[in-house]
Amino acid sequence: MADFFKKFLSLALLSVLLITNIFAATVSSECDLSDINLPIETATNNAAIGQTLDIKAKSVILMEPKTQTVLYENNADEKLSPASITKIMSLLLVMEALDRGDFTLETVVNASEHACSMGGSQIWLEPNEAMTVHELLKATVIASANDACVALGELISGSEEGFVALMNSRAKELGMNNTTFKNCTGLDAEGHLTTAYDVAIMSSELIKHELIKDYSTVWMDTLRNGESELVNTNKLVRFYKGTTGLKTGTTSTAGYCLSATAQRDGMELVAVVMSGETSNDRFNGAKKLLDYGFANYSFFEIEADLKDVKAVPIKKGVAKEIKVSADGKLNLLLPKSEAKEITQKVNIKSGLTAPVKKGQVVGNADVYVGDKSVGSIKIVSNDQVNRLNLWITFKWILYGLLIL
């Protein structure tokens, strides 16, 4: 009887521990996928510019990433706990390291004991377990795995501490002046704070890397030869047309957070919702923001029209003319009500005199919407032309005589 009682007590204690751990994971990470198959609101938001959106969250912002124009905001500069949308910066540093060639997607990473100790959302890495960067990216982006994220950070900087220092340095470079990272995962930590505006800035930078969308647009995937299932914590991937990402975040301190990106008709938008009251509040809030942007704005990428500019004459140079090209494009974001006929006028400087350097600005393509000037594109020289002098003239004459 005593043995039976001891076994019963042991099982009861084990059950309590398991229930406690499951509950802790739910409130401190993104393991709660209970509503993942429930659709978001289907009604399209038709709010006009200037109208207030009903979003149940402490802080929201909508940004066009290429111009970093804020289209809508409410309390966007309040410092808040970001939860796992922290990983946007972690992933940005991984993308930049891949671009530099520091490693490849096939590089194998052996998980450290520290990475395996993270808890919260995870893929249950074992110490020294080997995974490729590709696999760790899948786990980090799709399932918000903390252990995978730390493993990637350690690959770049040798330690999580070193990686966090790099995250804070990059944040300063991007002008994220209200952000301080204490870890690379987003687990609650004192002083680990950012703002909706700063999240929109780093999200805009991350989506410049098209590779991230190979992961952030995936709804379901697997690891370990199908043994570990990954489900995207971002429901918009499944339920919102044009979604390109990006990252969810949930902790007991941060509440429900989301940085959502979507693209339609050549325009991509970033919608950030922080400290939502419920999981669905963040998704419905982001949908309202994105609907608002797509309904009211249009994006144009304007190229200089140089078809009538064959060559530009140069005075007193060793060449009589130069060829020219546009220095970049003009990104133009307009309210749809103002998006009238877009025209441009090319102006080349008259009386250009050598020397002319390669890349020297020799004119502009001025862009107009109706009668309003909205920007210009620099026109530069494709060639370098030195100034004609007596010695060069003498050599030409001498060469001409020798030919004769």
How many C-beta neighbours within 10 Å does residue 190 have?
8
Active site residue 345: no
Tell me the helix, strand and coil percentages in the chain, rounded to 5: 35, 30, 35
Q: Return the sign of the alpha-carbon dihedral for residues 195, 196, 200, 203.
A: positive
144 classed as catalytic = yes
**Annotated catalytic residue 29:** no
The Cα–Cα gap between 86 and 89 comes to: 6
**From the candidates 29, 58, 81, 87, which is the catalytic residue?**
87
Cα of 259 vs its chain's centroid, Å: 9
**Which of the 8 DSSP states describes residue 210?**
G
* Residue owning tokens 């002083």: 191
CB distance 312 to 348 below 8 Å? yes
Give the residues across from 260 on adjacent strands. 246, 271
Catalytic residue among 81, 144, 204, 381: 144
Give the residue from 132, 177, 181, 176 showing the smallest Cα distance to 160.
Answer: 181
Cβ-based neighbours of 404, under 8 Å, separated by 6 or more = none
Annotated catalytic residue within 28, 29, 81, 84 = 84
The residues annotated with a catalytic role in the active site are 84, 87, 144
